[in-house]
Structure 1
Amino acid sequence: MADESIKSAFLEIQGRMIETTRKLKQVQNQIRSKETDKKRSFLTMEELKQVPDDTNVYKSIGKTFVLETKATLMNEQENKFKESETSITALHSSKEYLEKQIAEVENNLRELLQQDPGLARQIMSMNV
């Protein structure tokens, strides 16, 4: 009975570890994406600053280009930049939370393996 409960606890911990690791990778990918968006907005703003105010500027919408004022385009890029910064901050806090959860799951697994050394041998003998 105790052996079966330890195995079920191990499977539960393993599932939590897999799920948390998947979420962490997803958050890391989102952070990279938002950092790319932030950099793109920054570079676009830098290029727009060099353009005289009376110059025609075009905004790309799919395959179409729409005439916009420089001020409108600058505002849009500033908003994208700020939104990216906000998202990155939120994603970093999510990343920290998930990393803490992974550490907690690892500790739970260590404790479980210390309780039953036979389980550790069974795990080591499993084919992956």
Structure 2
Amino acid sequence: MGDEANRAAFVELQGRMIEITGKLKQVQNQMRAKEGEKKRAYLTMEELRQLVDDTNTYKSIGKLFILEPKSLLLSEQEQKLKDSENAITSLQTSKEYLEKQLAEVENNLRELLQQDPGLARQIMSMTVM
């Protein structure tokens, strides 16, 4: 009975590990996307700041271009930059939490395999085949 319980615990931990790893990859991809948005907003702001104040500026909306004041475009880019930074901060917190969960699951797996060497041998024999 203990053998079956250990096997069930291993399968559960393995499932949690796969789930957490998937979530971690998703968060990392979201962070990369937000970093790109942040960089685009910053570069756009830098280009807009170099323009004379009365320069005609256009905002792209799909396939349309709308004449907008430079100050409005600058404030929109500043807001995008702040939003991206806030999202990155939030995602970083999520990433750290998931990394802690992953480390905990790895430790639990390690302890389980140390407690039941027979289970470790069974797993190794299954991966060899």
TM-score (norm 2): 0.97
Return 5+ residue gaps in structure 2 as ranges: none
Taking only aligned residues, the RMSD between alpha carbons, in angstroms, comes to: 0.9
1:126 lines up with 2:126 in the alignment: yes
Aligned position for 1:27: 27
Cα shift readout 1:94-116 (whole Å, capped 9, x = no counterpart): 10010000000000001100111
Letter matched to residue 75 of structure 1: S
Paired with 2:24 and 2:119, the residues of 1 have a C-alpha distance of: 27
Which aligned segments of 4 or more residues in structure 1 are displaced greater than 3 angstroms? none
- Any gaps of 5 or more consecutive residues in structure 1? none
**Distance across 1 between alignment mates of 2:85 and 2:124:** 44
Correspondence for 1:85: 85
Matches within 5 A, 1:65-104: 65-104=65-104
Q: 2:116 maps to what in 1? A: 116
| Cα-to-partner distance string for 1:13-62 (whole Å, 9 max, x where unaligned) | 00000000000000000000000000000000000001111011011111
Partner of 1:12: 12
CA distance in 1, matches of 2:79, 2:126: 53
User: Structure 1, residues 74-103: CA drift from partner, whole Å, max 9, x if none?
Assistant: 000000000000000111111001000000
- Give the corresponding residue for 2:39: 39
Q: For residues 79 and 33 of structure 2, what CA distance do their matches in structure 1 show? A: 16
Which amino acid counterpart does residue 4 of structure 2 have in structure 1? E
TM-score normalised per structure 1:
0.98
Cα distance in structure 2, aligned partners of 1:58 and 1:116 = 68
C-alpha distance in 1 between matches for 2:93 and 2:59 = 34
Deviation at 1:126, TM superposition (A): 1.3
